[in-house]
């Protein structure tokens, strides 16, 4: 699993995701899960949650889909995910059936052999439900040039739905990320949010999501507007995440809400003064601020040690 969050004010959209990906046995914190796509009348960003093989398969299909409209593109993406998911499930079942039949072949008594096969099939079905739980899902934020605005979508196996909420979190980290948004967005006129403020909301939601199972690795972020879809420089993502992680942990008393928003805005624009000030407040070198991602839980530990130890 993972976390992916999008947010939009209808003119600009942003997306953020982690880098954890897992297969059947192992996981990695180095997957690049935020991807761009574009068509004749649309462009956007996509990030996914679920089995890494399924998500990477969906990413690979992005450049092969030829669709004139955003709706047709998303439908093709969903249909392709469903086809690959069905094929994967069928292959798994066929493999398990072959294994059961191989085991049963050494039993001479017909009735005992049939009883064994029935018993193994019941166990296989139970394992199938466990193995295949959590179908892959994609969070999409895209600009439609015909309708002249940004839209947010969720795309699953054969399913496309438009999200009308200001933000759209997916994955195992959607729990904490969504809670952060629900707690902090009420009363906010989302249509008036700046791109920097959306980056602040996304990053704080991402930091909160790291308490959920399956969220790991440093963040990746991107922005979409009428001019195109862009992946944010990784140094910016790390620096902003460090600032927001320290802010949420109350690790630095001078890092107020106003100051945090100012720093996020400055770092997002590449302002050297903002980078220098943030590094000073967090007691880090500028290089480490931008290249060493500190887990939000680590900021919390440091803050608590100052208070209680």
Contact 171, 3 (CB under 8 A): yes
In a domain, 41, yes or no: yes
Q: What is the mean pLDDT of residues 125-148?
A: 86
Contact 17, 3 (CB under 8 A): yes
Q: Which pLDDT does position 204 carry in this prediction?
A: 98
Contact 35, 230 (CB under 8 A): no
In a domain, 254, yes or no: yes
Q: Which pLDDT does position 133 carry in this prediction?
A: 62
DSSP secondary structure, 182-203, as one string:
HHHSTT--GGG--HHHHHHHHH
Q: Which pLDDT does position 145 carry in this prediction?
A: 97
Q: What is the pLDDT of residues 199-218, one digit of tens each?
A: 999 999 999 999 998 898 89
Angle, CA 23 vertex, CA 211 and CA 212 arms, to 5°: 10
Nearest to 17 by CA among 128, 141, 100: 141
Say if residue 113 is in the same domain as residue 252: no
In a domain, 204, yes or no: no
Burial call 153-162: b when 16+ CB within 10 Å, e when fewer: bbbbbeebee
Classify 180 as helix, strand or coil: helix
User: What gap in Å lies between CA 308 and CA 158, rounded to an integer?
Assistant: 52
In a domain, 209, yes or no: no
Burial call 249-276: b when 16+ CB within 10 Å, e when fewer: bebbeebeeebbbbbbbbbbeeeeebbe
DSSP lists the bridge partners of residue 178 as none
Q: How many CB atoms lie within 10 A of CB 94?
A: 10
Say if residue 249 is in the same domain as residue 226: no
Q: What is the pLDDT of residues 29-48, one digit of tens each?
A: 888 889 999 999 999 999 99
Residue 135 belongs to domain with CATH number: 3.60.20.10
Q: Give the highest mean pLDDT range of 3-12, 48-57, 299-308.
A: 3-12
Question: Three-state SS across 121-167?
Answer: HHHHHHHHHHHCCCCCEEEEEEEECCCCEEEEEEEECCEEEECCCCE
pLDDT of 130 above 90: no
Last residue of a domain, one of 232, 256, 286: 232
Say if residue 74 is in the same domain as residue 148: yes
pLDDT of 24 above 70: no
Residue in the structure block whose two tokens are 């993502």: 237
Confidence band for 242, pLDDT divided at 50, 70 and 90: very high
Q: What is the pLDDT of residues 154-182, one digit of tens each?
A: 999 999 999 999 999 999 999 999 999 99
Q: Give the highest mean pLDDT range of 87-96, 260-269, 300-309.
A: 260-269
Say if residue 150 is in the same domain as residue 295: no
Q: What is the mean pLDDT of residues 127-147?
A: 85
Say if residue 130 is in the same domain as residue 276: no
In a domain, 289, yes or no: yes
Say if residue 239 is in the same domain as residue 279: yes
In a domain, 199, yes or no: no
Q: Could you tell me which residues come within 8 angstroms of residue 146 by beta carbon, excluding any fewer than 6 positions away?
A: 41, 69
Which tops the pLDDT comparison, 309 or 265? 265
Mean pLDDT (the chain, rounded): 92
Provide the percentage of residues in the chain whose pLDDT is more than 90: 78
Q: Which pLDDT does position 177 carry in this prediction?
A: 96
User: Which residues form the domain of 281?
Assistant: 233-309
Confidence band for 50, pLDDT divided at 50, 70 and 90: confident
Range in 54-58, 149-153, 168-172 with the lowest mean pLDDT: 54-58
Q: Which pLDDT does position 134 carry in this prediction?
A: 63
Q: What is each CA distance from 1 to 26, 46, 162, 301, in whole angstroms?
A: 12, 15, 21, 25
Say if residue 171 is in the same domain as residue 47: yes
Number of domains into which the chain is organized: 2
Say if residue 172 is in the same domain as residue 276: no
User: What gap in Å lies between CA 42 and CA 167, rounded to an integer?
Assistant: 20
Say if residue 118 is in the same domain as residue 184: yes
Q: Which pLDDT does position 176 carry in this prediction?
A: 95
Say if residue 154 is in the same domain as residue 270: no
Contact 77, 138 (CB under 8 A): yes
Say if residue 145 is in the same domain as residue 290: no
Say if residue 152 is in the same domain as residue 249: no
Q: Which pLDDT does position 23 carry in this prediction?
A: 62
């Amino acid at each position: 699993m993972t976390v992916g969050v999008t947010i939009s004010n209808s003119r600009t959209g942003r997306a953020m995701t982690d880098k954890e990906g897992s297969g059947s046995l192992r996981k990695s914190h180095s997957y690049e899960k935020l991807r761009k796509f574009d068509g004749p009348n649309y462009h956007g960003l996509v990030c996914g949650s679920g089995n890494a093989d399924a998500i990477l398969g969906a990413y690979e299909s992005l450049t092969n889909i030829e669709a004139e409209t955003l709706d047709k593109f998303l439908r093709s993406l969903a249909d392709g995910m469903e086809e690959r998911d069905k094929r994967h499930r069928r292959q798994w079942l066929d493999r398990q059936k072959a294994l059961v039949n191989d085991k049963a072949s050494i039993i001479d008594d017909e009735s005992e052999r049939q009883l064994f096969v029935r018993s193994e099939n019941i166990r296989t079905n139970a394992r199938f439900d466990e193995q295949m739980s959590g179908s892959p899902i994609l969070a999409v934020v895209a600009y439609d040039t015909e309708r002249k605005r940004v839209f947010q979508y969720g795309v699953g196996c054969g399913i496309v739905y438009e999200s009308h909420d200001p933000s759209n979190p997916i994955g195992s980290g959607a729990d904490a990320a969504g809670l952060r948004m629900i707690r902090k967005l009420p009363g906010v006129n989302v249509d008036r949010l700046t791109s920097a403020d959306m980056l602040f909301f996304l990053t704080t939601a991402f930091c909160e999501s790291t308490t959920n199972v399956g969220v790991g690795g440093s963040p990746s972020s991107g922005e979409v507007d009428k001019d195109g879809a862009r992946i944010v420089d990784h140094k910016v993502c790390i620096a902003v995440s460090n600032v927001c992680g320290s802010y949420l942990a109350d690790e630095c008393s001078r890092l107020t809400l106003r100051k945090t928003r100012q720093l996020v805005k400055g770092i997002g624009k590449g302002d050297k003064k903002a980078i220098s000030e943030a590094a000073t407040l967090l007691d880090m070198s500028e290089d480490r601020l931008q290249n060493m991602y500190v887990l939000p839980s680590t900021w919390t530990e440091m803050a608590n040690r100052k208070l209680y130890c």
